[in-house]
Each structure stands twice: as structure tokens, then as C-alpha cells.
Amino acid sequence: MPRKYIIACGGTGGHLAPGIALAQKLTGGGDHCRLVISQKQVDTRLTRKYTNLQFVSVPGVGFSLNPIRLILFIYSLIKSVSYSFNWIRKWKPDVVVAFGGFISVGVVLAAALMRIPIVLHEANRKPGRTILMMRKLASRIYLPDGIRLRGVSPSKIRYYGYPVREEVARLNTEGARLEMGLDPAGKLLVVMGGSQGASAFNKWVVDNFDKLAEQGVNVYCITGPTQGTDGVIDGISKTGKKVKCVFKSFSDRIPELLSAADLVITRAGAGSISEIIRCRTPSILIPYPFAVDNHQLANALFFERQGGGVLVHQEKMDRLLAEVQELISNNWLLSRFRYNLNKMDRFDSAEYISTDLRNLCTNDFTEEFLCEGKLA
């Protein structure tokens, strides 16, 4: 019998993308899903092409210790719980799966009030506030390898990784470049600042493109929806070859871009890293220095230790040009990175999680909740 799942995953691309990946796997197996997203522009853009999935937009404001924003958060949370309670009660899901972020809080609290089983997924190597706050309500928690949560029984934890959307896969490099209208033969550096963009990256590209052009390097920079406009800068190499730098405010063609790239510069969110691994793209990770609990640094350090790429701190971006010039011309090292990335892509996380959810629903999930007094 088909099962019904609510997947709370909005707010950022790093929460939304794995939620979509899980929904693709569950619906592909005949189950029904509704994905809860925020009212932010980033969610609207990312969900636009998934017309076969059902999305529910709910109100929400991120947590802050600022007195005014804290009041707004509390007010928004009350609205979110009330709104979620009403439509969840009508739809009657078997399980609520939450990927963290502010949009998950109201949905999970509403599910807890209705005694609906709750499953959490944490993608980063430093669990976020939402996951830490809700961990006692969960009957299953998916975590990165080796991460523990205080006060949570090991029997509830599974190490199943980060679900990657089914369309994200390594493509033929030349074919990907031709599809994107890029030089099929030259070197290509892709620069992405995550779903929100990164002004520091955009400035670095503008300041250094002339030097990259001299080396014959083309650049494709995703500026972010609020960071700039689309455009092209032409350049010429020392040998007289034409190169160009393309600026795009947004792209939903990440598999093509990552497959086309010789090297990518990006933030160190779990989503970006997982897609880099799946597409086998050597990378330079620059963690966002103001991320909560500096979780991007923890992600980048682990990734670098696995041999998938290089970590550069944002305060040391004056060394970034030399790093890029050295790496992008070193074919042996790029090949070694791709070999290590292939080893890191061990299994289909979405398949593992969907199978586990179905087993929980059909076997011992309800019994587990009854034993803990979470279902009456």
C-alpha cells in the first residue's frame, strides 16, 4: 500500500535539494509526498521545474537573538504550527521527514502534537540548531559518517549520507560544454557561491579574470539572484586565443556546469559538496565564515582529508589566484582528485533512506513509537 510522507525541506538550497531527491525516490516507488518549502525566492526558483512533485509553501522566519527578530520568529512559528496542524491533519501522513532549517520547526511541532512519527536528516558535520532542538522528538535521525548526537540512542541513528537529485550525475565534458555554449577544448573554471551567491567570489572573478584569461582559462560565475546581473566579459590569452567570462545570476543546470568544469570554486555547504562528489569535479572550497557554528569549515576539512579538493579560507583569498593557476594546469592532480571523488561516492543515499522509511512504516516504526509513549 502506498505511504504518505511530508518532507519539510525549504529555506535554502542545501535543505531543499535533498528533500527533492528523497521525494523523487519515494514517488518513483509509488508513494505520495508533499514537500514543505518557504516563501523565499530561492525555493520558488529551485522548485519551478519539478512539476511532478507537490509543494506546500508555509510562512516562516529564521531564528535570531535580536529582540525584534526573535519576536518575529515566535509569531511566525505560532502561525506555522497552526497552519501546518490544519493541513497535516487533513492529509494524514504516515511520517514527517525534516531536513532542518527554520521551515522545519513548525511542521515538526505540529506533527508531534498529532503524534505522527518524525524523522530528521542532518547534512552538515556540525548539526544545526533545528536538529539539536528537535532530536528528542525523532524516531530516526540520519547523520554524516561518524557524527553523534548527545542524548540520542545509537539505535535511532543511520549513516546514509546526503540524497542527491536523480538528474545530478557526471556527464560527458565536451557534450556538457557544447550544451552550455562553452569552449569544448579550453580550460574552464566554474565559480558558485551557493544558492544565495557570494559577493566575495564575484569580486574576485572581476578582479582576476584578466590574469586567468592570459592563461587561457574560461570562467563561468553564478553570481546569485541578488548579487548581480547576467553578462559576458571577453578576454584573450597569451597565445592569442579568445576566452570569456560568463556571469549568470542563477542556473538550474548544475550537472552540466560541474561536468563541464576542470575546477570549481564554491562554498562548503553539504549540498554543494555532495553534488561535486556525484559529478566528480575537483574543487576549491571556501567556507562561508559566518555560517552558524562554522559548520562549513567542518565540512570542508573532512572533504579535504578525503582528497576531493582543497580548502582555502576566505580571509586568505589573496592566495586564491595562485592556487587556481597551479591546480587547473596540473592534469595529474585533477585526475587524482577525480579518482578520490569516485571513491567517496559510495552509495545512493536516497535509495537507502527511502528503503529505511518504508521498512519503518511497514515493520517496527509504530511499535517503536508505542514503546516510547509517543503514540497512544
pLDDT tens for residues 312-323?
999 999 999 999
Rounded CA-CA distance 147/38 in Å is 28
Query: Is the confidence at residue 280, as pLDDT, over 70?
Result: yes
Q: What's the whole-model pTM score?
A: 0.89
Domains of the chain: 4-166+347-371 (3.40.50.2000), 173-344 (3.40.50.2000)
Rounded CA-CA distance 193/188 in Å is 17
> What is the CB neighbour count within 10 angstroms for residue 109?
20
* pLDDT over 70 percentage in the chain: 92
Lowest mean pLDDT among 234-238, 261-265, 302-306: 234-238
**210 falls in which pLDDT band (50, 70, 90)?**
very high
For cell 559577493, the residue is 199
Terminal alpha carbon distance of the chain = 23
Query: Is the confidence at residue 326, as pLDDT, over 90?
Result: yes
Rounded CA-CA distance 121/105 in Å is 13
Average pLDDT over the chain reads 89
Query: Is the confidence at residue 344, as pLDDT, over 50?
Result: yes
Distances 188 to 69, 202, 258 between C-alpha atoms, Å = 42, 16, 10
Over residues 152-166, the mean pLDDT reads: 94
Determine the pLDDT at residue 248: 92
Determine the pLDDT at residue 371: 43
Residue pair 212/241 in contact by the 8 Å Cβ criterion: no
pLDDT digits 0-9 by tens, 54-111: 999 887 666 666 777 778 777 777 888 888 999 999 999 999 999 988 889 899 999 9
Lowest mean pLDDT among 155-159, 182-186, 214-218: 182-186
Query: Is the confidence at residue 373, as pLDDT, over 70?
Result: no
**20 falls in which pLDDT band (50, 70, 90)?**
very high
Determine the pLDDT at residue 364: 55
Rounded CA-CA distance 82/87 in Å is 9
Determine the pLDDT at residue 311: 97
Q: Which of 228 and 55 is assigned the larger pLDDT? A: 55
- For residues 158, 159, 163, 166, the Cα torsion angle rounded to the nearest 10 degrees is -100
**197 falls in which pLDDT band (50, 70, 90)?**
low
Determine the pLDDT at residue 222: 93
Amino acid of residue 255: P
* pLDDT over 90 percentage in the chain: 70
Over residues 245-264, the mean pLDDT reads: 94
Determine the pLDDT at residue 376: 31
Give ∠ CA 224-227-229 in degrees, rounded to 5.
Answer: 90
Beta bridge partners of 234: 244
Query: Is the confidence at residue 194, as pLDDT, over 70?
Result: no
Query: Is the confidence at residue 253, as pLDDT, over 80?
Result: yes
Q: Which of 224 and 66 is assigned the larger pLDDT? A: 224
Determine the pLDDT at residue 179: 92
Query: Is the confidence at residue 12, as pLDDT, over 70?
Result: yes
